Amino acid sequence: MSNTEDRKLKDTIDGVTRNWGGKFFFEMGTPWKRAVNNWKNKGGVVVHLTAYGENAETSDVLDRIRGSGKDILIMVGSQKVPGEFFSEAVSDFNVAIGNQPHSECASVAVFLDRFFKGEELARSFQGGKVRIVPRSRGKEVAVEKKP
Amino acid sequence: MSNTEDRKLKDTIDGVTRNWGGKFFFEMGTPWKRAVNNWKNKGGVVVHLTAYGENAETSDVLDRIRGSGKDILIMVGSQKVPGEFFSEAVSDFNVAIGNQPHSECASVAVFLDRFFKGEELARSFQGGKVRIVPRSRGKEVAVEKKP
């Protein structure tokens, strides 16, 4: 989360990761230009999700991103993002999860689901205290054994 | 949006539909039990999206929903939903877009993307004033011709 600090949000993410596992982390307050430049200097590509970009369904943009074989930084803004987000200095790909107005959160979710071809939903995370046992009815939570 | 009224939210949705087209509408203040009963009486099925449900990736739940051939009401709550949501009286299917904590908005988006096999992102909506012309860089908006 660039250009802003929200301690409470970080605490929430950290709490979820403690209980449910995984290596998620939250970084705030880094100006977005610095984050982008650091990423590019490490050899990564930058994907900007925007309703104005190449359509993820009707174009081959996802194949081209996968074809780059590089690690990906996904940028997502809100209704008004700086025009520079669209420039070659910033984004390697401008990708639209449909060219209609939509939720930014939804666009990240659908991008990840398509990029990983759905396998991410079957993944388990290490280091959590609890995990859900899927059920057709009701709730079941199992306590993870200590390794 | 059941059990609550938020006029501003309705105005936002209506404004988006006026500009971008489509037949989206927003209904508020109907108690959820009534909405569910009305839907079931019309022969529809009810899908409750919940992290506790059958995994959309590792189970065949999406095929079973499609196989019903019926219209679908998707229910999505927040962290605490009434236990009744899981009962046969309410939900025909409890579906998890992954059995990890996740955004409700994201779960609706991924469910729809999978249910429609991605075709929804290529759809255009009738009756709007403007539409986006997809581009690899920059923004292009075309004004719709009057029919």
Helices B61-68 and B104-115 cross at an angle (nearest 10°) of: 60
pLDDT 10s digits, A33-87: 999 999 999 999 999 999 999 999 999 999 999 999 999 999 998 768 999 999 9
B110–chain A Cβ distance below 8 A for any pair: yes
Query: Given B57, B94, B120, which is nearest A121 (Cβ)?
Result: B57
Query: Given B109, B113, B122, which is nearest A58 (Cβ)?
Result: B122
Nearest-Cα distance to chain B for A26, in Å, is 15
CB contact (8 A) between residue A122 and residue B55: yes
3-state SS assignment for residue A19: helix
Spell out which residues of chain A touch residue B22, defining contact as CB-CB under 8 Å: 100
Q: Are A135 and A147 in contact (CB under 8 A)?
A: no
Q: Are A97 and A109 in contact (CB under 8 A)?
A: no
Whole-angstrom distance, CA of residue A64 vs CA of residue A46: 13
Nearest-Cα distance to chain B for A122, in Å, is 6
ipTM above 0.90, yes or no: yes
Q: What is the pLDDT of residue B54?
A: 98
Q: Are B125 and B111 in contact (CB under 8 A)?
A: no
pTM of the model: 0.94
B88–chain A Cβ distance below 8 A for any pair: yes
Distances (CA, A) of B22 to A52, A124, A142, B107: 18, 38, 44, 22
pLDDT 10s digits, B12-71: 889 999 999 998 888 888 899 999 999 999 999 999 999 999 999 999 999 999 999 999
B134–chain A Cβ distance below 8 A for any pair: yes
Interface of B with A in 38-77 (CB under 8 A): 51-59, 61
pLDDT 10s digits, B76-97: 987 689 999 999 999 999 999 9
Q: Is residue B2 very low, low, confident or very high in pLDDT (cuts 50, 70, 90)? A: confident
Spell out which residues of chain B touch residue A129, defining contact as CB-CB under 8 Å: none
Characterize the bridge pairing of strands B72-76 and A130-132. Answer: unpaired
Whole-angstrom distance, CA of residue B37 vs CA of residue B88: 12
Q: Are A85 and A50 in contact (CB under 8 A)?
A: yes
Spell out which residues of chain A touch residue B55, defining contact as CB-CB under 8 Å: 121-122, 134
Whole-angstrom distance, CA of residue B106 vs CA of residue B83: 22
Q: Are B51 and A133 in contact (CB under 8 A)?
A: no
B24–chain A Cβ distance below 8 A for any pair: no
Alpha-carbon radius of gyration of chain B? 18
**String of b and e for B83-99 (b: at least 16 CB within 10 Å)?**
eebbeeebbbbbbbbbb
3-state SS assignment for residue B58: coil
Sequence-distant (≥ 6) Cβ neighbours of residue B67 within 8 angstroms? none
